[in-house]
A and B are shown apart, each in its own frame.
Chain A
Amino acid sequence: MMQKAVQRGLRAGALAGLLLVGIFFADYGPATTLSTVARWFALDGNAWSKLIGAILLVIVGAVFGGLFGIALRSRSLSLSQSVLVGLATGLGFWIVLVLLLSTAIRHIEQSLYGMLFWLVTSLLYGLVLGSLYGKFERAGGHT
């Protein structure tokens, strides 16, 4: 039961992370925001930083999705509950990656718009994670 929940979370999280890759690609750079993600992990400053940022986002998305699956391991949730827990996970994503890692540890400055952008995209990640997890759960049955 736990293993299936984690698998569903990993899959939903990786797909939600992939959506963020698409969103972060579509900027004035293109993909300057993906370099920022690489910068969080001190892996920027080279020709591959955008690709590294994209891969990191999918991995981090899958990790948060896996944690989401672990948290919900034995509970049979309605879609509403799954989406709400997903949004809470998105908020956690923002706190851990943007507030702690980016701002507090790596000292990357954010404009007002930047803070709003990261908050909205993190919550969107959570919304998509919760929606996809609920969809996978219904498709596969709650086992």
Chain B
Amino acid sequence: MQRSSSTDSSAAATESAVDAGPQPLQPVMLSERSLILLALVRIFVGLLWFQQLAWKMPPTFGGLRRYVESEAQHTFIPGYSAILTNVFLTHFSLLGALVWTAELLVGITLLFGLFTRFGAILALLLSVQLYVGLAYAPGEWYWTYGMLVLLALALLAVPAGRRLGLDQLLAPRMQQAARTRRLARLLSWLV
């Protein structure tokens, strides 16, 4: 009888806790192994971008033109084809230099974990552009570019450069400086 009463009071306590409203979510702490695994994902995504420099090297940016022409033919956004044809293809050397530099930056930032989230933002922009232009081109699997977008989003969401990366050195300094400086507050989010 006494035992039953104890069970009842425990159940009542649980019920009142539930009635009190939703409990705040506990912050998620990643284990050291998970952080290292994320760092490895970051490094290999960086490698993915870095390797793509090989077929569009300056000064000609050779392999790039074929893809931009394909984008101009197969983009699913009305009007984007005209922009690609009349702006980008007519100033191809400038476009090539910008794309090559942007992809080099993505590769370097992700491989070295240096302002990793900045690299992820740049990767996201490039990936969305590729999705818009190439996802529905003949012979392409639309998820290829969709996955690039998702990978960039994943690296934007987590501080993947704070293990096996230079962000592990920058983060404490940035966070310290962020208390007094607005620019440091912005930069500290990018590591």
Contact = CB atoms under 8 A, between A and B. Distances in A.
Contact of A120 (B44, B50, B57, B166): B50
A124 B57 CA distance: 22
A91 interface: no
Contact of A83 (B40, B53, B54, B166): B166
Given A124-B111, A124-B112, A131 B168 contact: yes
A23 B47 contact: yes
Contacts of B168: 79, 83, 131
B169 A79 contact: yes
A127 B108 contact: no
Contacts of A111: 57
Q: Which 3 A-B pairs have the closest CB atoms?
A: A113-B54, A80-B169, A131-B164
B164 A26 contact: no
B105 interface: no
B39 to A, nearest CB: 9
A39 B76 CA distance: 47
Contacts of A116: 53
A124 to B, nearest CB: 6
Nearest to B47: A23
Interface string B65-78: 00000000000000
14 contacts: A19-B40, A19-B43, A23-B44, A26-B47, A83-B169, A117-B50, A120-B107, A120-B111, A124-B111, A127-B112, A128-B164, A131-B163, A131-B165, A131-B168
A121 B43 CA distance: 10
B14 interface: no
A113 B47 contact: no
Contacts of A83: 166, 168-169
Residue from A80, A116, A117, A131 with most neighbouring chain B CB atoms (10 Å) = A131
B51 interface: yes
Contacts of B44: 22-23, 26
B109 to A, nearest CB: 12
A79 B164 CA distance: 11
A123 to B, nearest CB: 7
Nearest to A84: B169
A51 B164 CA distance: 26
Interface in A46-104: 79-80, 83
Nearest to B111: A124
Interface in B43-67: 43-44, 47, 50-51, 53-54, 57
Interface in B90-149: 107-108, 111-113
Nearest to B51: A27
A127 B58 CA distance: 28
A1 interface: no
Contacts of B166: 83, 127
A78 B153 CA distance: 32
